[in-house]
Amino acid sequence: MVAGTGERAPRPAAPSAGSGPPAGPAPASGSGADPGADERAARLLEAFAEHLAVERGRSPHTVRAYVGDVRDLLAAARSRGGGDPADVDLALLRAWLSGEARAVPDAVAGARGPRAAPGPAARATTARRAASARAFTAWLARTGAAGADAGVRLRAPRLSGALPGVLAAGAVAQVLAAAEEAAEEGGPVALRDAAALELLYATGVRVGELVGLDVDDVDRSRWTVRVMGKGAKERVVPFGAPADAALGRWLGRGRPALAGPRSGSALLLGARGGRLDQRAVRGVVERISGKVVSRHVTPHTLRHSAATHLLDGGADLRSVQELLGHASLATTQLYTHVSVERLRSSYHQAHPRA
């Protein structure tokens, strides 16, 4: 992100069919290591990155994360004397993953005392590394670089089953009212912020999907927005009158004031005219919500809240799945748990025989 602008850096060019995204520096060579190992590892990582981006449709962020994990895995293999993809076996994967799981709490603790159990952040990191390794070993087996898929039996720590944070409908209304009040008194940036918050709650889009929207993605005649989700899957999501009004103010008065040579077709713009960055949106949500609610609110809180309020209002689970862009209905079912918990809480508070 360009410092102080709230804008993201230019998007990297999409990989062509014959070349993958830059794989970054190869693992450092150890003493006495095969001098050609670095070059082979770099070519392998480049081909794996191309597979993730082109064949599996992963986002640039996911590609970077997976390639970084595999780079560490190959370095671990070479430290044990292995320099070939076939040297990556289940024993190495388990040792590498357990080492990573232990390293995170130690680094956080900053002490030499007994190791604490991995926290949620450590478990999430380890789970992602396991997913990276499984994707890599499956690709090695499919392309013939390895005789078998070594990661098929690799297990990762189970992530916490904590329910997502949800704001009550009244609290969301307060947050959106605060954004609208600021827009009435402020300039183009305040108009943009109000439009961003209205879209986040009205459509339940992810923050990355929000900042990726172009002007042509919005159809105000039908009150719909075309969203490009995970895995390059497109969906059309409706929004309501308040979001349309906020968009009208932004497109009519706010965006023209900020637009410049760097704007292109981006719907939401930063202060210098470039496409708005995800980090800037998070800052906007935290700043505006902090004025009216006591808890920490993120763009994902608004997404969780939108899904839960839809279900509470009678929407069926399949419709909410389509709205949120979930690949699996099991992911959407988590929001039914939220609604049940809220119902149980209300029952115990209000029912005379609870």
Question: Among positive and negative, which fits the CA dihedral 345, 346, 350, 352?
Answer: negative
Size (the chain), residues: 354
What pLDDT score does 162 carry? 63
Q: Give which of 234, 84, 225 is closest to 150, Cα–Cα.
A: 84
- Of 78-87, 115-124, 177-186, 247-256, the poorest mean pLDDT is in 115-124
Question: What is the tens place of the pLDDT at every residue in 234-293?
Answer: 898 899 999 999 999 999 999 999 999 999 999 999 999 999 999 999 999 999 999 999
User: Which segment, 192-206, 230-244, 321-335, is predicted with the most confidence on average?
Assistant: 192-206
Cα separation, 260 vs 180, in Å, equals 25
Query: Is 108's pLDDT higher than 70?
Result: no
- Of 101-110, 220-229, 253-262, the poorest mean pLDDT is in 101-110
Triad 226, 231, 237: Cα angle to 5°: 20
Question: What is the tens place of the pLDDT at every residue in 291-322?
Answer: 999 889 999 999 999 888 988 888 888 888 88
What pLDDT score does 1 carry? 46
Cα separation, 323 vs 202, in Å, equals 10
Tell me whether residue 303 is one of the annotated catalytic residues: yes
| From 128, 226, 300, 342, the catalytic residue | 300
What pLDDT score does 106 carry? 40
Cα separation, 256 vs 115, in Å, equals 55
Reported confidence tier of residue 7, pLDDT bands at 50, 70, 90? low
Burial class of residue 158 in the structure, from the number of CB atoms within 10 Å of its CB (0-12 exposed, 13-18 middle, 19+ buried): exposed
| From 51, 192, 255, 303, the catalytic residue | 303
| From 134, 192, 206, 309, the catalytic residue | 206
Tokens (6 digits) for 129: 């590394």
Tell me whether residue 326 is one of the annotated catalytic residues: yes
- Of 215-229, 235-249, 250-264, 338-352, the poorest mean pLDDT is in 338-352
What pLDDT score does 354 carry? 58
Question: What is the tens place of the pLDDT at every residue in 54-66?
Answer: 888 887 888 999 9
What mean pLDDT comes out for the span 164-192?
92
Triad 12, 236, 300: Cα angle to 5°: 70
Q: How many CB atoms lie within 10 A of CB 241?
A: 9
Domains, the chain: 1-156 (1.10.150.130), 169-350 (1.10.443.10)
Mean pLDDT score of the chain, rounded to an integer? 80
Contacts of 220 by beta carbon, 8 Å cutoff, 6+ apart: 244, 247, 248
Cα separation, 255 vs 196, in Å, equals 12
The pTM score is 0.66
Enter the DSSP assignment of 295.
S
Give Cα 109 distance to the centre of its chain.
Answer: 26
| From 8, 123, 129, 335, the catalytic residue | 335
Tokens (6 digits) for 241: 């009158």
| From 102, 230, 235, 282, the catalytic residue | 230
Are the beta carbons of 92 and 76 closer than 8 angstroms?
yes
Tell me whether residue 335 is one of the annotated catalytic residues: yes
Tell me whether residue 230 is one of the annotated catalytic residues: yes
